[in-house]
Every structure is written in C-alpha cells, then in structure tokens.
C-alpha cells in the first residue's frame, strides 16, 4: 500500500473502530518488522489525528515517525510528501514560521512536484507578514513557470485574490472572483475552503452581508465539527463581523465568545504541545532557538488577546451607547442626586478618617510624652534617693560606728549591731530602688550589662533559674535601650509574681536591621483572649513596644507557659 493509498482506510472502516484497526495493524507491523507498513500506518494515524483529534501533538509525532521509517526504506518521494503534510498542518493552524521553513526546504527537494502550491503558500505567508517584496518574488516564480494546467491557474488566482483582499482592493478582488467562477478546479480541491473564506471576506468589505452570511453558512456545513482549526476560527470571526454589521449585538457577542474560546483553546493546546513538538521538529537546534520560539508564541498570544479585548470593548461600548441614549434623560437627575449623596458620604468618611488620624497622632505624642516624662521623673527620684537618702543613711551608719560603747556592756553592743544591720539593709534597699528606677549600668556599660545586673539581683532559691543569651547586640540610643530594659524588667516581675515558673529563657539578638527580644518561661501561663478582654496586664509592655515602633507577638496557654517575641527596627 502506497503512502496515498493508506487514505483509503477512511472508507474501509467507521470512525469508531478505525483507530483500533490502525493500532492492530501497527502492532502487526512491529512484530513482523515491516518498515513499509510501519511508515504507512503511522501516516494513517497522523491523518486520523488531524481529522478527528483536538490535539496536534500526536499528528506531528506520527508524521515524524512515518518520515523516519520512509528514510529507512529510502522512499524519498514519500518523505517529501510527508514534509508537505506537516507543513500544511502548520499552515492550517497559523504556525506560519514553522510552515515557511518546511515549504522552503521542499522547494530545494527535486523529488517534490507540487512546486506551484509551495510558491502560493509562501506568497500567502508573505502577505500575512506584510512583506510585499517576498510576495512579488513568489508571484514572479509562479508566472515564470508558465504553468498552463487548471490547477496551477487556480493557485495563481487564489494568491492574487489573497493579496487584493489583504489590501482592501475591492475592485481587483471582484474581478478575480469572477475569474474564479470560470476555474472549476478551485471548487474541486482543498482550495475551495480558502476561496470561500476570501469570498465571504470580500462580500463583507463590500457590504453585501446577506451573501456573505450565505457563503459562511455553506463553509460551516463544509467544515463541520472539525477539531481546533484556523479555518474554523476565520469562519467564526467573519460570522461575528456579519452580525455586528447588522447591529445584531446578541448574536455578534455570541460569536465573539466562540472566537475567544476557540483562540484560547488553540493557544493553550499550542503552548502545552510546543515543548513536545520542539524535540521532534528541531532535534539539532540548541536551547536558545526553543526559547525564541516560545517568546514569539507568547507575543502572538498577547497580540491575539489584545485584539479580542479590543473587539469586546468596542462591542460593549456600542451596547452602552445605545442603553445610555435610551435612559439618559430619565436617569440624569437620579444619577445627579446619587452622585451628590456619594460625595457627601465620601466627604464624611474623609473627615472621620482625618479626625481618627489626628487622634492617633495625638495619642502617639501623648504616649511618647508620658513615657519620656515617666523616665525623667524616675531619673529624678533615683538621683534624690541615691544622693540624698542614700548619703544620709551612709552618714548615720558612720556616726553610729563611732559612738563609744563599753565593751562589757553586751546589751548595748548587741543593740548597736542590730541597728547597723538595719542600716545596711536600708542602704541596699535604697540602692536597689534607685537602680530599678534608673539603672546606672545602662548608661555606663550598655543594655547587656544592665540586664545581667538585673538578673543577678534575681538570683537565689526564691527566684526561677534565668538563662540569658545575647548575640551581636549593637550600641543603642539611650531611650531605646531604656525601653527594652523596662520591657524585660516588667516581664521578669510578672513571671516572679504570678507565673510560678522554675526556668526563664531570655535571648537578645540582631537579625539584619532588627533587634529581636525573645522571652519565655515555663510557668502556669494564661488565657490570652481573656487577658485581652479584661484589658489588664499588658498595657505597659504594649506601650513600650509601640513607643519603639516595634512588633509584639505572644504565645500563651494555660499551664503551658508563655512566650514573647519582640522585633525592633534599629535603623
């Protein structure tokens, strides 16, 4: 069975069992290693996929496999014919660059005889690419061949008709269509579909919508329910134009949606299959070629989608103009009132937003002033305690030590020792209170040293074990360091007073442009939601974090301890 005889299979079997019979034949050819049968069966499978399948990947794959087997049996004529079939598949689905490359390869193949058809197809591609010089070259090539048979004349006539319609030369196009009626070959070959599409397009340009509609309906019956195909896409687009010219916008919109759906389907399938096809078509090409092809496809997709959107926008605009022209007078005053009401509501919302913004700024300034005022007052009280009361107690202690007492007067000595012990305790308490109010080590040694001093004062059996870690802590501004110190101090006091914790973990570290404070204890924890509703317990810590423009996150559960993580931007 020759390459073209394999197409007789369409008449030998129904669509339902044809594919199974082809697969059976393929399996038998594989078992017998009959390369000729393998080549012909793969060609038949490609023809089946092209006719009935929505996917083009198997079409190209089957054609290429058939091509490889014809190479094995050295059937050069069939190889050229399969390349032509692949090129036609590309051309029908508007993959013009791929089609052009194969057409040019076939021109160099001396075994391929349908040269006139190749020049016609390359001429049509040149017209679509707006390349007039290339179109003229292809036209001259056909004329130079001096082809006299009716098939060649049909090819030449169709090419001229393509050019005339592409440049809206209706007079020339009309003359050519009249010539076509005297060339019956056009109606007996696959070129009839191309001719009818051009005829419908010309009729639309001339405003002969009824005849265009008749021609398109004839085309739809000819094409039927074929898989995704560029001819179907052109028919649907022309049907849309017909209805739009008649101002039948519902039907026009229906066909516009069908065009969009078909384009999207073709685009999605082409995009999915392009990678698989690249491996079959360009085994020798490098990755840069594949990337370029995908970029071109993406650019084409974008242009196609833009055209679709513009068409829908125009259609929507026309519909809107009609609706507005009908309802404009009735709706004018209503819309005006609604607009005034909306403006009033917006102005009210803007006023409320401005008031809220000012209130927030005032609250923020008040919070800053309050915190700075608290620290200033604590510093004053700390100095007064340390300088006045602390000095006075030290002086009393010195005076007490120099009071002469009879060494044999044991009660007096014992009483003096008790007073000195109380004075020592009072001095320590004054120093602790003064240090809590304004830690001197914070100014002199920095935040880390001040925290270590704070934790040292909480050592002993009555206090939890404290583990303190610090990494890359930078030099901080005084109010930033003091606020962090107050936060840790508040957290530590809460743990000691309420948490019943045995261990406390504190970590201070730098992460890029942020300082992170992590505080955890293993105490009884609390219900965070209940605490938020009561509004108690976290005000001081939250205020300090807000003062530093930081972020506070709390993870607390009853009987599972509590974890605080604070992020401060140190820039």
Contacts (Cβ under 8 Å, ≥6 apart) of 387:
none
User: CA of 333: how far to CAs of 276, 325, 429, 467, in Å?
Assistant: 61, 15, 80, 74
Give all strands of the β-sheet with 503-511 in edge-to-edge order: 465-471, 503-511, 514-521, 562-569, 551-556
- Pairing state between β 551-556 and 503-511: unpaired
| Structure-block tokens of residue 158 | 């169709």
For residue range 297-356, list pLDDT tens digits in order: 667 677 777 888 888 888 888 888 888 888 877 777 788 788 888 888 888 888 788 887
DSSP-assigned states of every residue in 47-67: HHHHHH-S-SHHHHHHHHHHH
Locus of tokens 């009959």: 34
Domains of the chain with bracketed CATH:
1-113 (1.25.40), 440-569 (3.30.565.10)
Cβ atoms of 468 and 506 closer than 8 Å: yes
Q: Which residues of the chain have pLDDT under 50?
A: 1-8, 10-12, 276, 279-281, 283-287, 290, 534-536
Helix axes 230-245, 191-205, angle to 10 degrees: 20
| pLDDT value for 466 | 92
Distance from C-alpha of 2 to C-alpha of 275, rounded to nearest angstrom: 32
Locus of tokens 């890029």: 512
Helix axes 447-456, 478-494, angle to 10 degrees: 20
User: CA of 304: how far to CAs of 237, 263, 298, 318, 469, in Å?
Assistant: 13, 8, 10, 21, 62
| Structure-block tokens of residue 214 | 């008749």
For residue range 187-218, list pLDDT tens digits in order: 555 667 777 777 777 777 777 787 777 777 77
Upper half-sphere CA count for residue 412 (Cβ side, 13 Å): 9
Cβ atoms of 393 and 429 closer than 8 Å: no
| pLDDT value for 64 | 87
Secondary structure (3-state) at 89: helix
| pLDDT value for 7 | 46
How far is C-alpha 352 from the geometric centre of its chain's CA atoms? 36
Question: Nearest-CA neighbor of 498 among 521, 520, 524?
Answer: 524
Give the number of other CB atoms < 10 A from CB of residue 115: 17
| pLDDT value for 6 | 47
506 phi and psi angles, rounded to 5 deg: -130, 130
Distance from C-alpha of 561 to C-alpha of 524, rounded to nearest angstrom: 5
**pTM of this structure:** 0.41
Distance from C-alpha of 433 to C-alpha of 389, rounded to nearest angstrom: 11
Cβ atoms of 523 and 495 closer than 8 Å: yes
Locus of tokens 């005022």: 373
What does the longest C-alpha to C-alpha distance in the chain come to?
A: 152
554 phi and psi angles, rounded to 5 deg: -125, 135
Secondary structure (3-state) at 43: helix
| pLDDT value for 11 | 47
């Amino acid at each position: 069975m020759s390459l073209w005889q394999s197409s007789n299979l369409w008449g030998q079997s129904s669509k339902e069992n044809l594919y199974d019979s082809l697969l059976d034949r393929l399996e038998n050819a594989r078992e017998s290693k009959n390369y000729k049968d393998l080549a012909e069966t793969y060609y038949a499978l490609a023809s089946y996929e092209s006719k009935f399948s929505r996917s083009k990947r198997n079409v190209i794959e089957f054609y290429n496999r058939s091509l490889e087997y014809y190479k094995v049996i050295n059937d050069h004529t069939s190889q050229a014919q399969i390349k032509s079939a692949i090129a036609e598949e590309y051309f029908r689905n508007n993959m013009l660059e791929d089609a052009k490359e194969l057409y040019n390869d076939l021109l160099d193949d001396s075994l391929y005889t349908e040269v006139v058809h190749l020049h016609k197809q390359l001429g049509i591609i040149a017209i679509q690419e707006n390349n007039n010089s290339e179109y003229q070259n292809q036209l001259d090539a056909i004329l130079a061949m001096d082809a006299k048979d009716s098939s060649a004349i049909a090819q030449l006539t169709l090419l001229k008709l393509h050019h005339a319609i592409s440049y809206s030369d209706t007079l020339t196009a009309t003359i050519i269509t009249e010539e076509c009626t005297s060339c019956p070959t056009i109606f007996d070959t696959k070129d009839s579909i191309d001719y009818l599409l051009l005829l419908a397009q010309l009729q639309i340009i001339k405003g002969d919508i009824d005849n265009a509609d008749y021609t398109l309906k004839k085309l739809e019956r000819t094409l039927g329910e074929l898989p995704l195909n560029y001819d179907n896409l052109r028919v649907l687009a022309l049907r849309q134009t017909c209805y739009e010219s008649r101002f039948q916008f519902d039907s026009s919109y229906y066909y516009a949606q069908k065009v969009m759906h078909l384009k999207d389907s073709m685009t999605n399938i082409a995009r999915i299959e392009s990678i698989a096809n690249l491996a079959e078509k360009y085994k020798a090409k490098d990755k840069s070629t594949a990337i370029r092809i995908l970029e071109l496809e993406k650019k084409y997709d974008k242009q196609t989608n833009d055209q679709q959107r513009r068409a829908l926008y125009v259609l929507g605009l026309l519909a809107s103009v009609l609706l507005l022209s009908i309802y404009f007078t009735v709706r004018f005053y209503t819309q005006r009132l609604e607009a005034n009401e909306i403006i009033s509501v917006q102005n009210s919302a803007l006023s409320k937003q401005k008031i809220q913004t000012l209130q927030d700024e005032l609250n923020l300034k008040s919070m800053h002033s309050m915190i700075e005022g608290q620290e200033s007052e604590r510093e004053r009280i700390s100095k007064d305690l340390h300088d006045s009361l602390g000095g006075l107690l030290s002086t009393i202690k010195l005076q007490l030590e120099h009071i002469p007492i009879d060494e044999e007067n044991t009660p007096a000595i014992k009483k003096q020792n008790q007073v000195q012990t109380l004075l020592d305790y009072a001095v320590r308490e004054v120093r602790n209170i003064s240090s809590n109010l304004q830690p001197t080590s914070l100014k002199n040694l920095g935040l880390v040293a001040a925290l270590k001093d704070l934790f040292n004062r909480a050592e002993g059996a009555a206090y939890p074990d404290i583990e303190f870690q610090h990494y890359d802590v930078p030099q901080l501004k005084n109010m930033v360091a003091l606020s962090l110190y107050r936060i840790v101090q508040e957290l530590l006091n809460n743990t000691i007073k309420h948490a019943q914790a045995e261990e406390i973990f504190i970590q201070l570290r730098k992460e890029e442009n942020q300082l992170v404070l992590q505080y955890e204890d293993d105490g009884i924890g609390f219900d965070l939601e209940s605490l938020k509703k009561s509004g108690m317990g976290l005000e001081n810590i939250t205020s300090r974090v807000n003062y530093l423009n930081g972020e506070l996150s709390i993870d607390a559960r009853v009987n599972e301890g509590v974890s605080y993580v604070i992020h401060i931007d140190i820039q």
